[in-house]
Amino acid sequence: MSRKRTLKEIQEDIRTLTRVPSEFIHAKLDELAEEVGELGNPGWIPCSERLPENAMNVIAQFSDGTVTELRYAGNGIFEGIYEYSTRVIIAWMPLPEPYKEDN
């Protein structure tokens, strides 16, 4: 699934489903449910798959299961109070967007 679609585009697909055969509706609803789930949870990215951009703050998971916020310094090094390498940190995810009050 591509994460490039917006929630508005997904909602438009849902509206379109009222005009198509039921077999297509069920298949499309399953696909849309998966996309909505991905929008709500960016998920963990294994360090073996790819690393964050340099100087990016991320949520990192250590090999022992501990989770904390760290800054990726580049060259396989994460910084916090101490420096950690990708041998100790197994996965990361971007920080969520900051909370904004509705006005």
DSSP class per residue in the chain: --TTS-HHHHHHHHHHGGGS-HHHHHHHHHHHHHHHHHHH----EETTT--PPTTEEEEEEETTS-EEEEEEEETTEEESSSEEETTTEEEEEEPPPPP----
Compute the mean pLDDT over every residue in the chain, rounded to the nearest whole number: 83
Residue 1: which pLDDT band, with cuts at 50, 70 and 90? very low
Segment 86-90 shows an average pLDDT of 90
pLDDT of residue 90: 94
Total-model pTM: 0.58
